[in-house]
Chains A and B, each alone.
Chain A
Amino acid sequence: MALEFERPILELEARIQELERTASEQGLDFSEEIELLKAKLDRLQREIFGNLTAWQRVQLARAPGRPTTLDVIEALFEEFAELRGDRAFADDAAIVGGVARFHGEEVVVVGHQKGRNTRENIARNFGMPHPEGYRKAMRLMDLADKTGRPFIAFVDTPGAYPGVSAEERGQAWVIARSIQRMSRLKVPAVVVILGEGGSGGALAIGVGNRVLIMENAWYSVISPESCAAILWRDAKEAERAAEALKLTARDLLRLGVVDRVVPGPKGGAHRNPEAACRELDRALVETLEDLKGLSPEAIWEDRYRRFRRLGVFEEV
């Protein structure tokens, strides 16, 4: 499924492919034409992807094929043992986690999990956790502290699930607890915003010493659609809301909300997940290296200071 704005690129790619097929089938030489079209494709790609609007980036962040938490774990980690359940109520498939090996080192990992198709998405509740999902995450934070292993969290959720069952079981209470538990970690915590960083449901596992964000991912206090529905009383104004919320990777870097933008492949991570994962691998190695050697107290203090300074106001 193509996004509206990438259609011209896909059409051109299809034309090049067809020309190449015709050339090989009929033994004709179209190399000059193909070269011209490839140059045009390159220009077009640069033009479209060099001038992405915030709303287009939001669509890229949601695009099927973009690496999910389990895709990233599979690509980056040598080993992964999934651990399930919150030990209280249920196993929430919208959050996955476990112990893993990253470049030889044992780590504890957790992340929101979206489905890669409709059937999977229904099983994963579109990556929108219930309280038990956050309780599972907290249990894994306990494990990271106990074993002294770095904690890595992958954020990719439209938001925590807004439903009756979630409210009855204290969604807000659990998110608050999860923020608190994560802030108390005595081991290095690295957060990666993979796709969507939807509000409190994202922040619940977002309290890292360092917060990285993939190119074309978004992170915001509210989704553009909900913001538009409230402020403009029309969800169709999401495009304007996306612009106003300053939710893109570069904006967030400028505001100090994230510490590093992980560059993505030309055409978006959903067209080339392998390349996206390679860039992330490098960024993650460097970030964990930065945090090595800090004492548990220093790690905690580092995280406290990082969040303490966030906010913009005038002192009278």
Chain B
Amino acid sequence: MALDRLFRRRRTRGQAREVPELWVRCAACEAQVYRKDLEQALWVCPECGYHHRISAERWVALLADEGSFEPTTGRVRPADPLGFVDTEPYPERLRRYQEKTGRPDAIHGGRATVGGVPTVLLVMDYAFAGGSMGSVVGEEITRGAELAAEENRALVIVAASGGARMQEGALSLMQMAKTTMALDRLFAKRLPYVSILTDPTTGGVTASFATLADVIFAEPGALVGFAGPRVIKQTIRQDLPEGFQRAEFLQKHGLIDAVVDRRQLKEQLVQTLSLLYPGEGHGA
């Protein structure tokens, strides 16, 4: 009798667990959305248009042609050059992020074709230490640009980052120069570089490779800037204007080419790349 009750309760709980998996609450408008609908809409809320953050793997699936992706990142692992300890030692912090994301640092990418255009596709992973750029992210971006130049591929970077990583000190700062310089390897071969800015992209990433693209797209509502809104508010001691540093604001101020809805992004990216990529018949 007691056993029977236990089983029954378990069953009930099991069913109850399934309900929130079927339905998802939008992080912006709090509408209950059918999970399948949200997936179909590429995690854009069908009610309010809010662009939910998606994993680096999903970005690759979204942009790369099916079956074309071949990872090149992941062979470079972070070290602790400063012996940095804040509330916990940096190596422990890294281990936690590595376990959580299954990758050595905040970047994922490799070779792919995008609408047939040979491409190096790199995606920053905000889930790993806020997508911060230390030596590894800097090196992977640099190698990605070098690989693109070497193999005549376009470069596409999906940015999401709180900026340069504090725990690697000035070495993180130097990655801004290193990545910027690597982009010049693309010039010699006239290879296009498209940057996709997602929420949020700030600090050293915005102030280096992410804004040096030939074409810059941003997701609707994405916060992009040099200083974060909190720092600016502290400096000027005033409330910030409505929509400040959001993608739409950036477009108005002439800083990006277009705010692109995620559901149209692949199409727009393919068109841009095919118009910019040198030569003919590259899709073959």
Which of A3-11, A20-28, A226-234, A287-295 lies at the binding interface? Answer: A226-234
A199 and chain B: residue at smallest CB distance? B173
- Which residue from chain B places its CB closest to the CB of A159 in the assembled complex? B227
CA distance A231 to B84 in the complex (A): 11
On chain A, the residues within 8 Å of B198 by CB distance are none
Could you tell me if B173 and A221 are in contact, using CB atoms closer than 8 angstroms? yes
Segment 112-151 of A: residues with Cβ below 8 Å from B:
none
A-binding segment of B1-9, B17-25, B131-139, B260-268: B131-139
Contact B170 A257 (CB under 8 A): yes
Quick check: is B41 within 8 A (CB to CB) of the other chain? Answer: no
Contact with B along A208-247 (1 / 0, CB 8 A): 0000000000011110001100111000000000001111
B residues near A257, Cβ cutoff 8 Å: 170-171, 173-174
Contact A162 B170 (CB under 8 A): no
A199 to B74, CA, bound (A): 27
Q: Say whether A81 faces chain B, with CB atoms less than 8 Å apart.
A: no
| Complex Cα–Cα for A171 and B212 (A) | 13
| Known contacts A203-B173, A313-B79; is-contact A163 B232 (Cβ 8 Å) | yes
Asked if B226 and A180 sit within 8 Å, CB to CB, the answer is no
Minimal Cβ-Cβ distance residue in B for A175: B207
Does the CB pair A308–B178 fall under 8 Å? Answer: yes
Are A200's CB and B226's CB within 8 A?
yes
CA distance A160 to B79 in the complex (A): 29
Q: Is A80 an interface residue (CB 8 A)?
A: no
Cα distance A151–B90 in the bound complex, in angstroms: 38
Contact mask for chain A residues 159-192; partner B; CB cutoff 8 A; 1 contact, 0 none: 0111110111111110111011001100000000
A312 and B81 contact, CB distance less than 8 A: yes
**Max count, chain B CB within 10 A of own CB: residue among A183, A200, A206, A316:** A200
- Among A160, A246, A307, A315, the residue within 8 A (CB) of B178 is A307
Whether the pair B77, A314 counts as a contact (CB closer than 8 A) is yes
Tell me if A244 and B86 are in contact (CB < 8 A): yes
A252 at the interface (CB under 8 A from B): yes
B101 within 8 A of A: no
Given contacts A164-B232, A179-B208, A244-B86, contact A200 B170 (CB under 8 A): no
Task: Report the bound CA distance from A69 to B138 in whole Å.
Answer: 31
* Nearest neighbor of B232 in chain A, beta-carbon distance: A162
How many Å from the CB of B216 to the closest CB on chain A?
9
C-alpha gap A305/B206 in the complex (Å): 23
Residues from chain A with a CB closer than 8 A to the CB of B180 are: 176, 179-180, 183
Shortest CB–CB separation between residue B125 and chain A, in angstroms? 16
**With known contacts A221-B173, A257-B174, A200–B207 Cβ distance under 8 A:** yes
Give the interface segment out of B27-35, B115-123, B234-242.
B234-242
Complex Cα distance, B180 from A232, in Å, reads 31
Is the CB–CB distance between B79 and A163 below 8 Å? no
Interface size on B, residues (CB 8 A): 64
Within 8 Å of chain B (Cβ to Cβ): is A50? no
Contact indicator B169/A162 (Cβ below 8 Å): no
Q: B211: CB under 8 A from chain A?
A: yes
Which B residues lie within 8 Å of A246 (CB)? 82, 169-170
Q: How far is the CB of B175 from chain A (nearest CB, A)?
A: 6
Q: Which residues of B contact A206 (CB under 8 A)?
A: 177
Asked if A310 CB lies within 8 Å of chain B CBs, one says yes
A104 within 8 A of B: no
| A-B contacts, CB under 8 A, total | 188
Note all chain A residues with C-beta closer than 8 A to B236: 163-164
Contact residues in B for A163 (Cβ distance below 8 Å): 227, 232, 235-236
Q: Name the interface residues of B119-166: CB closer than 8 Å to any CB of A.
A: 134-136, 138-139, 142, 164-166
Contacts A172-B225, A313-B78 known; A184 to B184 CB distance under 8 Å? yes
A304 contacts the other chain (CB 8 A): yes
The one of A162, A177, A244, A255 in contact with B81, judged by C-beta atoms closer than 8 angstroms, is: A255
- Beyond A183-B184, A313-B79, A316-B76, whether A162 also contacts B171 by CB under 8 A is no
Q: Quick one: closest A residue to B88, CB to CB? A: A231
B284 at the interface (CB under 8 A from A): no
Q: How far is the CA of A9 from the CA of B232 in the complex (A)?
A: 39
CB neighbours (8 Å) of B168 from chain A are 221, 312
Using a CB–CB cutoff of 8 Å, the interface residues on chain B facing chain A are 74-79, 81-82, 84-87, 104, 134-136, 138-139, 142, 164-166, 168-178, 180-184, 202-204, 206-212, 224-227, 231-232, 235-236, 238, 240-241, 244-245, 253-255
10 interchain residue pairs of minimum CB distance: A162-B227, A311-B135, A172-B206, A172-B226, A312-B81, A171-B226, A231-B86, A310-B174, A175-B207, A172-B207
A-B contacts, 17 listed (Cβ < 8 Å): A162-B232, A167-B225, A167-B227, A170-B253, A172-B224, A176-B180, A176-B211, A200-B176, A203-B173, A219-B173, A221-B166, A226-B231, A307-B181, A310-B174, A311-B134, A311-B174, A313-B136
Known: A169-B253, A176-B212, A184-B184. 17 other contacts (CB 8 A): A162-B227, A164-B241, A167-B244, A170-B254, A175-B226, A176-B211, A183-B181, A183-B184, A199-B164, A203-B176, A220-B169, A221-B165, A244-B84, A311-B136, A311-B171, A311-B175, A313-B79
Where the two chains meet, the residues of A that have a C-beta atom closer than 8 Å to any C-beta of B are: 160-164, 166-173, 175-177, 179-180, 183-184, 199-200, 203-204, 206-207, 219-222, 226-227, 230-232, 244-247, 252, 255, 257, 303-304, 307-308, 310-316
